[in-house]
């Protein structure tokens, strides 16, 4: 593989390569072949793709996280205990203890469940 190889291309492939090269703004045959070889290596290599980055924290999630931290500080407890309360206590109890409006309790519970998984 260390020796240079001369490639021959039939007419139909040559026409197709010229069209692709023009589309990708490649000006020389070596550029086209280098790109083709790179794509072949990527497609057939055994290297697994990297895991996708987790989604960035949304403004809503950030607000919930900060609010839970504030309650933990104000009540001199831990954020984990506040999360546990939100998951296990009745909506009325949450409203009395944390001032958490019943309409947002499901959002807090979904957030906590996502964080726990």
Question: What pLDDT, in 10s, does the model give residues 18-60?
Answer: 888 888 888 877 788 888 888 888 888 776 667 777 778 899 9
User: In the predicted model, is pLDDT for residue 1 greater than 60?
Assistant: no
User: In the predicted model, is pLDDT for residue 17 greater than 90?
Assistant: no
Neighbouring CB atoms inside 10 A of 85's CB total 18
CA dihedral over 60, 65, 70, 72, signed as positive or negative: positive
Neighbouring CB atoms inside 10 A of 111's CB total 19
User: In the predicted model, is pLDDT for residue 84 greater than 80?
Assistant: yes
Q: Where are the domains of the chain?
A: 11-44, 59-116
């Amino acid at each position: 593989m260390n020796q240079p190889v001369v490639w021959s291309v039939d007419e139909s492939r040559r026409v197709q390569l010229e069209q692709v090269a023009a589309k990708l703004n490649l000006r020389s045959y070596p550029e086209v072949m280098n790109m083709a070889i790179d794509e072949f290596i990527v497609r057939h290599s055994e290297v697994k793709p990297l895991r996708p980055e987790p989604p960035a924290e949304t403004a809503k999630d950030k607000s919930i996280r900060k609010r839970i931290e504030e309650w933990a500080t104000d009540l001199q407890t831990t954020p984990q205990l506040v999360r546990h309360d939100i998951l296990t206590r009745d909506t009325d109890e949450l409203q009395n203890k944390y001032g958490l409006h019943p309409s947002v309790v499901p959002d807090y519970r979904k957030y906590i469940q996502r964080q726990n998984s």
